Chain A
Amino acid sequence: MLEFFTGIISGTVSGTGMGGGTILILILSVFMGIDQHIAQATNLIFFVPTSITAIITTIKEKLINWKIGIPVAISGIIGAIFGAKISVNMDVNYLKKYFGIFLILITIYEIYSLVRQYIFDKKRHNKRKR
């Protein structure tokens, strides 16, 4: 049942574009004590059906930029092969630590973008001035 609620929370957040997948993994691993690798694999399963639905909708709305999307997708497969190979062979404690470090970097970026948005709202016309 807890898994079900985890899905609801992550799904709700996913709509905001703020890392629903990250939240899913964190709830499963940090709060429910599920192995980090399994938590990560769960997010991969979670992503497929929801993203296919989203892609169909956005194709209809002509929102996908193919010129950029296709090369990024293809090179992404190459990157994913390396990343996944390293991940599945990595000790779970190290994987958790690296994930934590990655989260801190994401947090710094999120704070930066929040502050930037705040400044942008305040001084819209002075945007280019430094």
Chain B
Amino acid sequence: MIHPHDSAIVRTLGRIVVPVAQLFGFYVLIFGQHGPGGGFVGGVVLAASMILAILIFGVNADDSRLAQIVLHGDGLGLLIFAGVGGLCLIGGGQFLNYTHLEIPALDEPSRHYLGIMLTQIGVAADVAVTGVSIAISLSFEGDEVSHG
């Protein structure tokens, strides 16, 4: 069990750093289309921000609520990924062939853009959930771990 940190400096800095880290995580995730970054890295940064919140404020604090909610998302990211792939299958193409991502009123480049973006969001969600689950499992040293 991780207890809240008792230093005022750490807590105040945490309040500032955690949202910035989360914003940066989203930036890396979206920017992955145009430069270095993408789903995996973005997911890791998001996970790191939530783990930081857990380390500073404790698992049950209001400030680490996001981490507790995220914990219930086991496999959600993979489902997004497989869902996008499945939509392409329904559209008549191969798995993850974004040309066949059947969404009306979208030309082919936008389909590719949307498809890769959604799969990257899926990857990021999964990496973030996994990171937070590992941190929370480790924090329950010796006690019964029950989630999921």
Does B associate with A? no
Report which B residues bind A (CB closer than 8 A): none
Report which A residues bind B (CB closer than 8 A): none
